[in-house]
Structures are given as structure tokens and as C-alpha cells.
Structure 1
């Protein structure tokens, strides 16, 4: 694989920067606080997620896309973060926020970008290293993912469901199916063009790999981790809270 210091034919050396879309309101969490700002041991999930991606020294800068970079609630948070972390204006969708971060990263000299979820705080270092290794080496990019383990069912789509229950229409073959995670690592300008071509508001653009696929690329699937869970529902928060607290205790002992 190509090392960090290896140059391209035009003399340009790889420069990896990270983008974290964090402008969402986390409505499915049923809380008044956006999920990325929920706290564990007096630290936000966002802080843990930033710390996780900075576990690899190849990440030169981090751009966090938020709804308002000058918001009062960010003042104290900014003081606790490394100087390489910057807040930028996000958008109305995840893709718009990612695009905003990618544009800033490119303007700062990034050749590649690593996109990570703001509420995915338990990223293992070995998984981070692996996806960066492959993402820098493979022109199609790379993402963390885990093979689907459970049986999959397709639901009946019913407009009139009197009892409120959903029923099974059919089973889905899980062979060759993977559940996408982040980080996802791509050539920065290539990702920017892919999001632009697919359209940041396209409902099929659910992650950065979706945009790359739209443009004909086939990003590599790098084995992730069950612990690399994204907080979406209240039960998810309970899981990551316990893992983070256990990890904090391990560091203290």
C-alpha cells in the first residue's frame, strides 16, 4: 500500500482531512438535545467521535459542519478541542453538510477526506487505521462495514393498517449484504463531484459511498466493528454510554 509520504505523479503528497456532519437535530432520539451533544462523563458524543478519528496522525485537520458555527453553546466546547478542529456552516441535509466540509477541506489542500458520523463515538483504532490505509491506496475509496448477520424481512407496504402492525411480505437473501458504517475515505475532489452529480438532496444519497456508486465507483468494504455503533435511537445511546464508561475506567486503572 502507498504510504503517507508517497507522492503522486504530479508531485502532490496525500493530505487527509476529516469531515463530520453535525448539523442534524436527531429527532429519532426523542430528546431536546441533538444526539451528537448528548453527554457521557461530562463529554459530548461529538467530542468522543472527534477523539476517535484523531487516533490516526494522518488526519491533519477536522471540519465539523454544524447549523451555526458561531452558536453560543459551542463556545465552551471549542475551548476543549484540539486546534486542528474547526467548525463550518452545515446544510439542511447530511449530504449538504458533508459537501460544505469537503469544500473547505479541499481549499485547505486536502487530497483525501475521511467522513465520520458525529454520533459514532466508539470507533476502534484498528478499524480506523485499516480504512485509512485502503482509502488512500484505492482510487475508488473505502468504507467500514459489517456483514449482515440477522435474517432480513421485507415488509408489506400497507396504506390502511388498522391494528398498527407491519407484516412480512418476503425474506431477503442476506448473502453478500453488508451494513455500512463510517469512517468512509475518498479522494476529496472525486467525492465532491460525486455528491454534486447525484444531488445533495437526492433521497438515495444516504452516505458518501452512495454518491460514489452513483458515479460508477465500487468502494472497498473494510471490516468494521459492532462497537462502532451510530446513536440513532435511545437504546443505542445506552449501549455506547456503557462502552465509553468502561473504556474511561480502563484508562484510569
Structure 2
């Protein structure tokens, strides 16, 4: 299970009380979660009381999987225009997009959109920018992003599971990397998204692919209830799910959804 407290992104150092007070404001958006597939311009389609979105594919991969890993090449024009419209750093966006294209091949029934992964990346670490960090051209968060010690003091209590290998803490676990994986979760779901033969949660291609596989492992995310179930499994908080829905919808709207 991926149960953790996400780092507050630089633009939202809010208290738990302020997060709870915002639930009502995003509740309506949360019932209209974005369900885009592939890399696409999303178009709302009314179905009953909950608008669902389908996709009109406008982007395809520009390269085959690498010899040692599944990373996809992303259309440069799509990447540039989408990054400009959403404010997502291009290197982070490329990782999110590649991961969802891989998932579309591996688990076509999942239907997870790039904008959901981007919303998680924004909420967890501001796309790898928390605390003055940044994603370098090779996809590494530098300096490394570490969440608070999960020592039961305001957070869950999770004793060290990795000997400090990923988080530098031999007493307690800490969520790590741009998508904030707990070491024990990474031990099960870690992925090699950039094809370098190593699975590392501090590298955004690896982290994004692991996140998408985790979100898709329960099956389809193509209805609001299925989507909410998947995101709730990533972080067991309805407020968190509402926040991801709000951001995912905002990204879709920014590119014409």
C-alpha cells in the first residue's frame, strides 16, 4: 500500500485544517474526474449525472521502447505546447506522458490519463521542485527530495524497511523522490522507466512508471468511482483524492478539455 503524507508543494504549505476546509470547494470537480486516455485533447461527454471525458488522440509515440526499458519518446510539439499551457516543467511532463503510454500498452483497460499522473506529481512535490530541488535533464531530483520521518509524530509510524538505502534513515522510513514513494512500497512496485537497468524512486521516469503501474493494478480507471478508488489507493485520504481531481481537471481544461 502506498500510504503516506504528501509533502506540501511550495505553493500550498497548508495545515490539515485548511485542506479539510477546501474539500467542499473541490467536491463538484471531484465528481467529474478526468479520464483521458493516451496523450490527448480531452472532450467532455455527459453521461448521466457525472460528466466523463473521452479522448481524441492527437499524439502518438515518436519512438519504440528502448532495448533495456519501456520509455517512450514524446512528440516535441505536444510536449512544448502542453508544458506551456499547464506550467508543468517539460522534463517532468515527458516522464508522466511516457509512463501513461507504457500503461496504455501494458494495461489497455486502465485508461489512466497523463493529467492524473501530473496532478499527483504537482501535489506531492510540485513536480520535483519542493525545497529548492529540480529535475535535471536526466530525470534526477537534485537535491534528493525526502519526506518527513514517519515516526508517529503527526504522521504514520513506519519503522525503517530499507536500511536507509533510499531515504538515509535507518530508524524510520521517509517517502522519497518526486512522487514520494515509501521504501517498502518501492520494494514491490519499483520500475525502470528510463531503461538504465536500475529502479530508483529519485529518478522521475522510474517513479512515474511505478506510480502508473500502481494506479492501474486494480483495473479500469475509466469511471469516476474507479478513478477515485485508484487514487485513494495511492494515498488513503478523500481530501487527497479531491485535490488530485481538481488539479487533473485543471490540466485538462488548460489544454482544451
TM over 0.5: no
**TM-score, structure 1 length as denominator?**
0.30
- Structure number with greater CO (CA < 8 Å, separation at least 6) is 2
**TM-score, structure 2 length as denominator?**
0.30
Which protein has the larger Cα radius of gyration, Structure 1 or Structure 2? 1
Higher strand share: 1
